[in-house]
Chains A and B, each alone.
Chain A
Amino acid sequence: MRSQTRLPAAVAALLGLSALHPSPAGAQDVERGREVYEQWCSQCHGSEGDGQGPAAEYMIPRPRDFTTGLYQIRSTATGELPTDEDILRIINEGMPGTTMPGWEEELSGADREALVAYIKTFSQFFETLGAPEPLEFPGAPGASEERIAEGRLFYDSIQCFECHGAEGRGDGEASSTLQDDLGNPIRSADLWKAWTFNGGSTVEDIYQRLRTGLDGTPMPNFSDLIDAGFMTDDQLWNLAHYVRSLSPEETPTPEEVIVVGQVAPGELPGQLADERWGQAESFYVPLVGQIIENPRWFDPSVDGVWVQALHDGSEVAFRLTWHDRSRSPDPGWLEWQGWVLDAMAPREGENLEPAPRPDGITVQFPPTIPEGMDMPYFLMGDGSNPVYQWQWSSVPGTAVKAAARGLDIYEPLGAEGLTSEAAWEAGRWQLLLRRALVPADPASELQFEIGVPIPIAFFAWDGDNSEEGARGSVSSWYFIQLEEETPPSTYMAPLVAFLFTGGLGVLVVRRAQRRDREVQAAAAGIVLPPEPRPQMARNFGFAVGALWLLFALAAAGNSVGGWAAGQTDVGFWWAVITGFLTIAASVALIGTARHRYQGPRKS
């Protein structure tokens, strides 16, 4: 890549084509940049570039204050200005994990470059310090198990866990005390969610952030340590590979239907730690701050929940997994709550104080499975259309059932029949919820039906982030679908069909043989007893073939259905059955046709 860009640059230098290099922005660029900025950027970053636009106070982290010349994502050393390319990259791609969107699709290339020129005018440093020198980043060595393992050791030895936690979920001892350059609370990155990394999710991005630090945040740079000989570049790459390995390769995309897999009766996991959960597929449901009804919440802590679900035909069990930096209420987070409330709450007219608040999650369903898409309001229903809920809270640590008719308007339904188990460890909650398909009180509780999409939605609260009531994270409606039982008849049907049609086939062959004998006997002058309805026997052969073909098609349907539902074993075996049936049908049809048109086999 580098060598490709060098050649044109060298040619340009030879020819004196300085225009190929970033040139000092002309007044025209700056003027155009101002127009674009005023239209698209000033609402958040402020007309003065100080990061105090009208929308800014609803955002954590706050929009960048351009007057300081301080930029998180750079290709330059800590304290250095960013290059034009660095600024342009953030404009183009946005900053994952923040409210900054990418503008590559919305604005023309010229406008985006004009924006860079204009943004730089907000800080005197761009004038006084001149063009910054980007660090030279070596190419990434390939990932390997060894590198990842080394990186893990290095992670511990340079004490990344102080902020990012022992397992990297952003729950380190210092995580409740972190502030950015503006004095606002800032979360240490949850390294299991590379898609939220401010500077990008590739291993190269991670390495570069380690080299440059994220200025304006607590994240320091490590170039100084390499320069001083305290670590090697290779060690830093190992660390980057380890960090990258914690997240899935692809950003998880939510699926509309959460498949509730079926297990044999009595095989439903009854505990969080049950290893059978390892076999259950995990579905990611993103959560966002509740910003529809007052009091709105723009600083949600829980941004997603992984859902696993299984049923055994009589009970359903869910295992929910979500990241939370603390086991609320934790007094160590009271000061953090104060900062969060200072930054966020006053806008909603509430005067909240830091207080011990529990963590919580609520799973909600409609009380009955709706016809079509007629679902209750996802924000806990309303007066006419309630929702049925399972509410779990870290205090007292158990789950209860409720009917909700609006945010925080509950009618408790007790806990009968709903079992739960929860555990917090290293920045992660796991919660098991289990209930019979047929509820204790069918009048107020959902009855789970097999094979039918059932709406499901989630609410989550991080008490140590001052969340409670309407101030929490929400999902819209998703669906669960309890995998259809594979009844014994499913496996019996092909067998019966085989035997049945096989018997018919034998009959056909025997009749055909008998007719052959008749013909031969007639030729020999022997009179056999008359064969009734010989034409029907031939048609019967076609009928059997057609029946087998029909069965083959049905089996193919099952196979496709199995694959589509992700049950590869079911899909495979139905495909095998389809194959056999197709062969049988072909033999019957072709054999009968041959017999009919070519006459009996000559002996």
Chain B
Amino acid sequence: MARYERVLRVLAPAVLLAVVGCGGGGGDAAGGGGGGDAAPAEMPFDVATAGNITGSVTFEGTPPPPEVLDMTSEADCAATYTGDPEVSWVDVGGGGLADVFVYVREGLEGMSFPVPGQAVVIDQQGCQYRPLVAGVQVGQSVAFRNSDGLLHNINASPTANRPFNVSQPVNMDTEREFAAPEVMIPIQCDVHGWMAGYIGVVTHPYHTVSGGSGAFDLSQLPPGEYVIEAWHARLGTLEQTVTVTTGQTAEVTFNFTDAMLSSAGTPTDGPHDHRTMARVGGVAE
């Protein structure tokens, strides 16, 4: 057995590399983005010419109340909350709309960007994903962390990428990469049906997730015209065309409204709606 494990450990990186390499090709076919193979160490443009985008995401109208999570099946998680465990999918507590994935959808075609060496961490804590929404670059590691110390599984259901389903019965990290751009990839824990999260995968570093104030920054972009998309799990997407010029900071605001809540489909949470919502959110083209 021991020998077998050693063999696996030796083989695993090789297999992973092969997958990532091949997957990059798949990503090209599927997404038409930059692809993941042979990422250059340097930016593919003269950074001295860069400009910035800054902006905010707002919400108009009445947000749905936070959803109360029934954690009776997992008393250890329920015990980490003082009141009822809740999740705010439409989180306007900080003045703006949080948890919006903002990224450059069009305008960077054909450019290849270095892949950040640092993993994006999605923590499972109190039987919730923290953050609920994360962005990552093709080929960049996502570290799924189990801080709860009880059984979680991370069941990712992408369409442009390969799915996976990993168990984590103890405190641990599991790292995964995505080979093709995809907005968004739903993840969920089947043990705790309320645990849903999303990962946006793009070919470049120009993506972010809005914080509590709704503010976001996309900095150091090559000059040019971009389509910026803002994706929200319950409200769908908005897009704006922005022109970036050298040394300037372009401003953009995305205004989501409660009307979008009803049109985007059901406001209830749960895995049943979760995957449907991801499809509504759309796949990056």
Q: Are A218 and B172 in contact (CB under 8 A)?
A: no
Is A251 an interface residue when CB atoms closer than 8 A count as contact? no
| Across-interface contacts of A68 in B (CB, < 8 A) | 159, 163
Of A158-166, A452-460, A502-510, A545-553, the one touching chain B: A158-166
| Across-interface contacts of B81 in A (CB, < 8 A) | none
- What is the CA–CA distance of A177 and B25 in the complex, to the nearest angstrom? 36
Of A122-130, A407-415, A489-497, the one touching chain B: A122-130
Q: Are B15 and A220 in contact (CB under 8 A)?
A: no
Q: Are A125 and B26 in contact (CB under 8 A)?
A: yes
Q: Are A224 and B174 in contact (CB under 8 A)?
A: yes
| Across-interface contacts of B157 in A (CB, < 8 A) | 181
Of B54-62, B190-198, B200-208, the one touching chain A: B190-198
Identify B192's interface contact among A174, A216, A228, CB under 8 A: A174
CB-CB under 8 A for A224 and B4, given A124-B26, A128-B25, A129-B26: no
Q: Are A225 and B169 in contact (CB under 8 A)?
A: yes
| Across-interface contacts of B159 in A (CB, < 8 A) | 68
| Across-interface contacts of A215 in B (CB, < 8 A) | 163-165
CB-CB under 8 A for A78 and B151, given A136-B7, A174-B190, A183-B272: no
**Least CB distance, B29 to chain A, in whole angstroms:** 6
| Across-interface contacts of B174 in A (CB, < 8 A) | 224, 228
A interface SS class: loop
Identify A177's interface contact among B167, B170, B193, CB under 8 A: B193
| Across-interface contacts of B267 in A (CB, < 8 A) | none
Q: Are A162 and B191 in contact (CB under 8 A)?
A: yes
Task: Determine the residue in chain A with the shortest Cβ distance to B159.
Answer: A68
Q: Within B153-175, which residues are at the interface with A (CB < 8 Å)? A: 153-155, 157, 159, 162-170, 172, 174
B interface SS class: mixed
Of A230-238, A282-290, A364-372, the one touching chain B: A230-238
- What is the CA–CA distance of A129 and B29 in the complex, to the nearest angstrom? 11
Is A79 an interface residue when CB atoms closer than 8 A count as contact? yes
| Across-interface contacts of B276 in A (CB, < 8 A) | 183
Task: Determine the residue in chain A with the shortest Cβ distance to B25.
Answer: A128
The count of chain B contact residues (Cβ–Cβ below 8 Å) is 45
Is A481 an interface residue when CB atoms closer than 8 A count as contact? no
**Least CB distance, A142 to chain B, in whole angstroms:** 14
| Across-interface contacts of A163 in B (CB, < 8 A) | 190-191
Is A226 an interface residue when CB atoms closer than 8 A count as contact? yes
**Least CB distance, A21 to chain B, in whole angstroms:** 18
Is A80 an interface residue when CB atoms closer than 8 A count as contact? yes
CB-CB under 8 A for A177 and B164, given A228-B172, A230-B170: no
Q: Are B275 and A183 in contact (CB under 8 A)?
A: yes
Is B46 an interface residue when CB atoms closer than 8 A count as contact? no
Task: Determine the residue in chain A with the shortest Cβ distance to B30.
Answer: A124
Is A219 an interface residue when CB atoms closer than 8 A count as contact? yes
Q: Are A80 and B162 in contact (CB under 8 A)?
A: yes
Q: Are B172 and A158 in contact (CB under 8 A)?
A: no
Binary interface encoding of chain A residues 174-196 relative to chain B, with 1 for a CB under 8 A from any of its CBs, else 0: 10011101010000000000000
- What is the CA–CA distance of A220 and B165 in the complex, to the nearest angstrom? 5
- What is the CA–CA distance of A235 and B174 in the complex, to the nearest angstrom? 20
* Among B155, B164, B167, B276: residue with most chain A CB under 10 A: B167
Q: Within A442-490, which residues are at the interface with B (CB < 8 Å)? A: none
- What is the CA–CA distance of A219 and B270 in the complex, to the nearest angstrom? 18
Is B23 an interface residue when CB atoms closer than 8 A count as contact? yes
Q: Are A173 and B165 in contact (CB under 8 A)?
A: no
CB-CB under 8 A for A226 and B163, given A181-B157, A183-B275, A220-B153: no
Is A133 an interface residue when CB atoms closer than 8 A count as contact? yes
**Least CB distance, B211 to chain A, in whole angstroms:** 31
Q: Within B1-44, which residues are at the interface with A (CB < 8 Å)? A: 1, 4-5, 7-9, 12, 15, 18-19, 22-23, 25-26, 29-30
- What is the CA–CA distance of A339 and B18 in the complex, to the nearest angstrom? 39
- What is the CA–CA distance of A313 and B137 in the complex, to the nearest angstrom? 77
Q: Within A206-264, which residues are at the interface with B (CB < 8 Å)? A: 213-228, 230, 232-234
**Least CB distance, B142 to chain A, in whole angstroms:** 13
CB-CB under 8 A for A179 and B162, given A129-B19, A218-B155, A224-B174: no
**A-B CB contact pairs (8 Å), 9 listed:** A79-B163, A138-B1, A157-B169, A162-B191, A173-B74, A177-B271, A183-B275, A230-B172, A233-B5
